[in-house]
Amino acid sequence: MNYLLSGSRGAALNNCPRQQALRQQLQPAPQSPGTPWKTRQYSLGVQGLHEEIIDFYDFMSPRPEEATMRREVVKRIETVIKDLWPTADVQIFGSFSTGLYLPTSDIDLVVFGKWERPPLQLLEQALRKHNVAEPYSIKVLDKATVPIIKLTDQETEVKVDISFNVETGVKAAQFIKEYMKKYSLLPYLILVLKQFLLQRDLNEVFTGGISSYSLILMAISFLQLHPRIDARRADENLGMLLVEFFELYGRNFNYLKTGIRIKNGGAYIAKEEIMKAMTNGYRPSMLCIEDPLLPGNDVGRSSYGAMQVKQVFDYAYIVLSHAVSPLARSYPNRDSESTLGRIIKVTQEVIDYRAWIKKTWGGKSSLSSDIDNRMKVREHITACSVEQQNRGSESPFNQHLALSLTSTQQLSSGSSASSVSSLSGSDIQHSGMKFSMKGAHNPNQGNGYSPVSSGGVRQPVGNRGHHQYNRNIWRRKKHRDGLPISLSR
């Protein structure tokens, strides 16, 4: 009898909520299609989203063999350039330089030399002669603001952009590296945001999106002016930061009247003030970002699809804020779902492409110092995450998530007087209205601006099927040692 009672008592203990939660933590999570980074169960709420962002970053961040492959691509192109101009200087900038690149991101190169005009056609002919690029992939954009040559590498299908005598790209890469040191959380947010925009065709200006430089400056400004936490610390909650980033730029920020300034600690300023410093005759754009390296230049000037980006940011805010709410724990199948996977996916083609890279270049690669440093940062953030859980009720992340940012003064957080106090109120506000899950904006919200009535912006894009992630489909040849036939970025 005692044996039966003890067995019943043991069964009762095993069925108690605490024991069930412990078993769920120990069980491996089923890996869902499109979320290969999710290999374990996560905590509830924003803490679980924080843990998942770390896993996503660890999965998607550049691997040694991917860096090796890209260096070989650069070496092949540099050889062609040196044959033409032995004294030319080839430098890498952009995401490959900063390390903030996705597996299918482009490589940006700039060639410095003594030319009156960029020798675009001459280099184009040389690249064709040496069969460096895929047939018909070389495009000369000589009418662009910055003339470039675009090509796709013959051996790896990596896309490359080549410009001439443009120093701003190299300086911008160094500028971003400095802020990556200042804000250790910045790379985690950027990789998530890049993947989010990539699968919606909003990661390039010419497809109606925004540039990577604009996105990074928006993230830096967000971290500079965050009202409640010190984003320079590595133990802040990435889940909370991501949700509030989407809230700010998807719902609260006034794109009509407000510009973004990075220098001098960061500030939100009136577009009229930015226009005073612009000497090129342009007016501030809808997404107005003052170039911290070139005063008078509006980084967002070419981002004509900024309102589409605003809409999908609002969509992501709605989805994630519902997913991390206390009510979410009562949703069916919560434990098998990925919170981050509600807004981003990784296609099987990309996974196969990375496997092909590892098979081909894995033996040639070695861990570089930047990857070592990134792993150290990740370990530190993971350790701090465990420390957060041990803080109990004293931790702000265990409390109810306050998702509204209420005023410009609060957002500016003691920034310079140029933040213009008159921008409060209708400039950046939260109406408290309920929004549909489609992310449609209420035309009566804030200053009455309706994205549909002003320019006919298309409805926000939710999660697409795996075949819809990008209109630029990567085509692969069948004879390339198992290289995927088609790689949808």
Contacts 24+ apart (CB under 8 A), 359-367: 359/481, 359/482, 360/65, 360/69, 360/481, 361/65, 361/66, 361/68, 361/69, 361/72, 362/65, 364/65, 364/68, 365/63, 365/64, 365/65, 365/67, 365/68, 366/64, 366/68, 367/64
C-alpha–C-alpha distance, residues 173 and 96, integer Å:
9
Q: Output the CA angle 235-237-242, nearest 5 degrees.
A: 140
DSSP letter at 249 equals I
Most confident of 24-28, 273-277, 400-404: 273-277
The tens digit of pLDDT for each residue in 33-42 reads: 799 999 999 9
CB 241: neighbour CB atoms within 10 A?
24
Checking if the pLDDT of 362 tops 50, the result is: yes
Domains of the chain: residue spans and CATH? 64-478 (1.10.1410.10)
Q: Read off the pTM.
A: 0.72
- pLDDT digit string, tens, across residues 337-350: 899 999 999 999 99
Selection from 405, 404, 410, 418 nearest residue 267 by Cα:
418
Cα dist from 395 to 242, 336, 384, whole Å: 18, 27, 12
Q: Which structure tokens are listed for 86?
A: 């032995």
pLDDT 10s digits, 210-240: 999 999 999 999 999 987 666 566 667 999 9
Contacts of 400 (CB under 8 A, 6+ apart): 326
E strand residue ranges, 62-221? 89-93, 107-112, 139-141, 148-152, 159-164
pLDDT for the residue 301 = 84
Residues 172-186: pLDDT tens digits? 999 999 999 999 999
Stretch 451-473: mean pLDDT, rounded?
38
The C-alpha atoms of residue 333 and residue 74 are separated, in whole angstroms, by 46
